[in-house]
Amino acid sequence: MATLRPGISALPPNIRESWRHQSEQSVWLRPSDWYHPAVDALVESVLTGADASSAAERLGTVRGFGGVGISETIDDLACLYRSTGSAEPPLAVVRALCEGWAEAQAGVPTSGSCVDPESGLPTRDFLGTRLAETYGVAGRAGDAADRTHCLLLVDVAVAEISPWTRMARSAAVGSALADAYGAGHPMATLGGGLFAILADRGPALGAQVRAVRAHVAHQAGLLQVDDLVRQPPRLWVEALPATHERAVQLLTELSR
């Protein structure tokens, strides 16, 4: 390994294992597939103060081919920089990572997945299926879904952005919404920076809106994509139609 830049001697002696541990304890889903030789190249670039963009792009390509989502890929990169004592990875490195991931995705056959790979959230079609369950439960209880539930829409779109910046934004918002509501909650990306959450109607709805806005702002800052997110994000409540069929049509109309 090349001579380290001034101050680097204070870093942990085995930064790769520190990175692995932090990632596996916080963001990485399957510990068995974390390591790849591209990891070592990125560690060396970071520790020597060299431009880490090429190494990050290579790692992004590896992660993309390995089926790792963009959110998990970016969060893992952040763990490396936190392991070195840095706050967050430089934007140029995040960009290179996303570009490598996108190149890999272009060569991976698609399979009708119910999860959007950029945001890590369910797709619009999957949310439509969850809506069918909601209408069914309400009907069996002698109630109506449009009385018990609504859609909370989150619009973070700004001016037209490049594919890699779109992915970084999607990853940030997807992570924020998952943090706000927890895994498995019915929600989806609708494209174009618009996201939909199935929410309970009731007195807590206002607090949910404020919490979602705060989570989005926090995650955008954490991933350094503040300029890619509408400030502040636009949130509004959309009433559910009377029937499931019309609700699915509404999701289609909202998508862009």
Higher pLDDT, 145 or 119: 145
With vertex at residue 49, the alpha carbon angle to CA 102 and CA 175, rounded to the nearest 5 degrees, is 40
- Residue 18 carries which side chain, given as an amino acid letter? S
Which of 56, 182, 58, 66 is CA-nearest to residue 117?
A: 66
Across the range 102-123, mean pLDDT stands at 72
Task: Report the C-alpha gap between 199 and 67 in whole angstroms.
Answer: 30
**Do 229 and 158 form a contact (C-beta atoms < 8 A)?**
yes
Higher pLDDT, 114 or 9: 114
CA distances from 203 to 39, 74, 155, 164, 186 (A): 48, 36, 23, 39, 19
H or E stretch at 43:
helix 37-48
Q: 108 pLDDT band (50/70/90 cuts)?
A: low
Any alpha helices (H) in 107-162, and if so which ranges? 124-140, 145-148
pLDDT, mean over the chain: 86
Range 124-254 classified under CATH 3.30.70.270: yes
| Percentage of the chain lying above the pLDDT 70 cut | 91
With vertex at residue 103, the alpha carbon angle to CA 102 and CA 106, rounded to the nearest 5 degrees, is 85
In the chain, where the domains are located: 8-106, 124-254
Question: Looking at the predicted structure, is the pLDDT value of residue 10 above 70?
Answer: no
What integer pLDDT is reported at residue 106 of this predicted model?
Answer: 66
Q: Which of 62-71, 118-127, 167-176 has the lowest mean pLDDT?
A: 62-71
Question: Looking at the predicted structure, is the pLDDT value of residue 154 above 60?
Answer: yes
